[in-house]
Structure 1
């Protein structure tokens, strides 16, 4: 209808579920509808005005409830749409294999009897022994298949229990319980192998060597074939586009994580970057050479020993250079609205013209080589994605409510799950959107002050960001949860500005004063 043509719509089953009603203990006329981050407790709107919560940051409890509900609904859906049907299919496969094994073994026994009949007077005893042997083999194979069948019976029982648990969680009406449950993870489907049926090898009749003449039964020396477990992606291919998009948005990176956070921070080395007045932004190429820039347009490259290799004069900028997958560098010129590329053989070429938009930050994706550029124009700001060939692919500027996402995206990076993480100097926040450009969350620091600067991510999905207000480096998980102050003045950090992580998972921290770049090992 004309009156609703511009309204935001979505599937009814994907709606935000209503927050269960709970009366505030302190204000009986109010319902609890706000979550205090500092106190980690749900409160009502009137509680926000109390001195106990003065200066605290709050979240909409309804948003938290909806997020949790969607998560549980998604896991419940996976059980119903993937884990249970796939497990039942595997069990059916086992039953069919058992039937086939019986047919094969019966056929072998028949062949042995036919062959033995012509030598009956000579091989009755031998034939009886070998037939008994086939029964033993059959029992062993069927016992193995029965064990596999029990494995899936147990797993299906476990899935039904998980399904009941999720249904129970989805029906939770007590908000406090909502925050006590950790997200349950579904155990993977057990793997089993298909049986390798014995093969009967016929023998030749010989009175003097009856045992050798009669055929024998053995299992071929063949590696058992693993049963094929259809991937969840293949199953969800048949979903409706809206359902598939929702499921994919909830999936996390399945990258095998062989690293973890170290219990201690180790300083690896330190550079006194030549040719710059301070180290506002740092990049490291594949060869381990360091690029550093200051606040007046000096961009320099050093070798592993800190010796100056190149010095390029650019326009003043923030996070305006990035190492590329091929060992080169890309940097922006905000005065000319141009992005330049330096090839591995040190050739500088004009790469992208940004027209009326001023490029102030850039990042080369480690996932696919795409180029992410933070831009501003008058009072507007956006993030634009280009292919590694320089073709414009995507523009990210507003959230789904039409609100501006950025004001000054002065440093930008990409996380392992495809999220675009931007350090916005004017918003005093880290702004994170997914790879489709949908707003995920902001991070506004710990406490009253937060001034973002350099930002980077690592292979585990952590987000690392400089806070010039507290003179520290914050470590976040990929969902914006604060983990720790990774670096602070206690480690000798005074004014952290630039951050990057190299291919060896070393963290480079550039400082304003003194103008050093310090390398740390924080993963093990």
Structure 2
């Protein structure tokens, strides 16, 4: 079959680069590949790809037309969103409707099914499993927690009528709490049964290569992203009373709290404190631009609202600039090689990674101290955490392994490399950021995914681009987070930035005439600073 957008004289081209003749076909993703793009495609380890020579690919299973049994449905009616045969498209009830090549639709739809299956398996279903376990634990602890409230009421009250009234209220709340937990258990169990069936059906559709089943599939992922409510045991804010005090002076019970979000991570006191809610602007605004003077720009890190550290991929000098394009300080690396990444510590010192000599270095009072020296591993990207640790992404010297390591000073505290099944979490050492909820977010450029784990290193989710976008490749570069626990990642090749919530749900794009956005950082007021790779400019954007 010839490419639908090209004439008969032209050769078939790779679906990824669209410039080189195709040679192979991935039967899992239903995509045609040239020799150069095969390696890039199979580097996404989240799928078990099956790349075969193009001429040995499986033929799609076309369905028979119900109106014309001797015809196959080898076209797609874009209006009715179903496969149709050529006779129906030209002379039948689909006459005049826009139609497209079924192969093209099949490829896009297959990728959409793959994304749905990946989200269900790695993010949505594990979340329901976690919730089911949490609900059972909470039910087991219910008697003890409400018993403590009753005991506290007995200890603090001296007016029997009021004490009894309060204890009756506690008993009523406990029954309501238990009823809600039982309802949650039923709902979660039912949803898990449905999810298993959907995942099984998806795998069957993908394996069947059936054009009709694939093209008519409707995603249900969105309905499972709304989680059952979480119930919180009320607290008793009480004060000592005596017989002369009135009922209203007796401590009051807080109302039973039923939240629509299910918590899944223990947070530090600093992370728990709620910041003011800042809604997203409908139209983000460019408020400043800095010309760094580099040939290209790699990373940016905020020292303050109007001062940023910058570094280039081909320059050994790191520059501190203000919004007026004035050079305030410049520091050269100890090795004389360019820095891979930079970050500012809570003490306002600069940290940089240097993979030429496999070190992480701290600049304090313009003096460079090597704080970490690696062996067999190359440090790439770095961020400073709320607890003043360093998180460093790194690759092994043979580029076959990648991991994230947490350091306190020079001491390694944690290494994150594999998921619960022993599979590698990362394909490469990418830009890294710690979210306000203490999740660790990595932009894995090679895997074309943002990989997010919790504080313990357990995989929470992978974001591989907007679910509806099957045309443009997603290659995340820089990554940062803000006070609202948003995750922002630079989609460099598409000249935009994705904003996600803390659970990986896409919220919005930032465009602002960006050109190859690369490094990102956010200041204390949630202004976004974007390092443009080609123009070597830093752009300051208000988006909240």
Q: Is the 8 A contact 1:374 1:381 kept in 2?
A: no
SS of the residue 1:453 aligns to: strand
TM-superposed CA distance for 1:468, in Å, is 1.4
Aligned mates of 1:492, 1:398 — CA distance in 2:
38
Q: Is the 8 A contact 2:339 2:354 kept in 1?
A: no
Structure 1 unmatched runs, 5+ = 1-25, 27-48, 102-140, 200-217, 229-246
SS of the residue 2:474 aligns to: coil
Aligned mates of 1:515, 1:431 — CA distance in 2:
27
The structure number with the bigger radius of gyration is 1
State the match for 2:387 in structure 1.
368
Aligned mates of 2:372, 2:189 — CA distance in 1:
53
Q: Is 2:291 the partner of 1:273?
A: yes
Q: Is the 8 A contact 1:384 1:393 kept in 2?
A: no
Q: Is the 8 A contact 2:149 2:236 kept in 1?
A: no
Q: Of residues 376, 401, 417 in structure 2, which corresponds to 1:356?
A: 376
Q: Is the 8 A contact 1:425 1:451 kept in 2?
A: yes
Aligned mates of 2:124, 2:343 — CA distance in 1:
39
User: Where do residues 307-322 of structure 1 align in structure 2 (5 Å cutoff)?
Assistant: 307-314=326-333, 320-322=341-343
State the match for 1:53 in structure 2.
109
Q: Is 2:437 the partner of 1:405?
A: no
State the match for 1:72 in structure 2.
131
TM-superposed CA distance for 1:183, in Å, is 1.7
Q: Is 2:368 the partner of 1:324?
A: no
TM-superposed CA distance for 1:326, in Å, is 0.3
Q: Is the 8 A contact 2:339 2:352 kept in 1?
A: no
Q: Is 2:282 the partner of 1:264?
A: yes
User: Where do residues 230-269 of structure 1 align in structure 2 (5 Å cutoff)?
Assistant: 251=266, 254-267=272-285, 269=287
Q: Is the 8 A contact 2:305 2:525 kept in 1?
A: no
TM-superposed CA distance for 1:508, in Å, is 0.9
Q: Of residues 138, 148, 151 in structure 2, which corresponds to 1:89?
A: 148
State the match for 1:232 in structure 2.
none
Aligned mates of 2:131, 2:420 — CA distance in 1:
24
1:42-89 deviation per Cα after TM superposition (whole angstroms, max 9, x unaligned):
xxxxxxx95782432331556667425314313422531344431233
1:442-465 deviation per Cα after TM superposition (whole angstroms, max 9, x unaligned):
222233401121111122222111
1:212-252 deviation per Cα after TM superposition (whole angstroms, max 9, x unaligned):
xxxxxx459xx977899xxxxxxxxxxxxxxxxxx996557
Note closer, same or farther for the CA distance 1:183–1:516 as it changes in structure 2 (3 Å cut): same
State the match for 2:525 in structure 1.
504
Structure 2 unmatched runs, 5+ = 1-62, 64-104, 199-219, 255-261
Note closer, same or farther for the CA distance 1:153–1:360 as it changes in structure 2 (3 Å cut): same
TM-superposed CA distance for 1:480, in Å, is 2.1
Q: TM-score when scaled to structure 1?
A: 0.66
User: Where do residues 282-431 of structure 1 align in structure 2 (5 Å cutoff)?
Assistant: 282-286=300-304, 288-297=306-315, 298-314=317-333, 320-343=341-364, 345-365=365-385, 367-376=386-395, 377-431=397-451
Q: Is the 8 A contact 2:344 2:350 kept in 1?
A: yes
Aligned mates of 2:414, 2:179 — CA distance in 1:
44
State the match for 2:493 in structure 1.
469
SS of the residue 2:451 aligns to: strand
Q: Of residues 497, 504, 524 in structure 2, which corresponds to 1:480?
A: 504
1:124-153 deviation per Cα after TM superposition (whole angstroms, max 9, x unaligned):
xxxxxxxxxxxxxxxxx5554344334323
TM-superposed CA distance for 1:94, in Å, is 2.4
Aligned mates of 1:193, 1:513 — CA distance in 2:
59
Q: Is the 8 A contact 1:429 1:452 kept in 2?
A: yes
Q: TM-score when scaled to structure 2?
A: 0.64
Note closer, same or farther for the CA distance 1:521–1:441 as it changes in structure 2 (3 Å cut): same
SS of the residue 1:81 aligns to: helix
State the match for 2:515 in structure 1.
494
Note closer, same or farther for the CA distance 1:161–1:227 as it changes in structure 2 (3 Å cut): closer
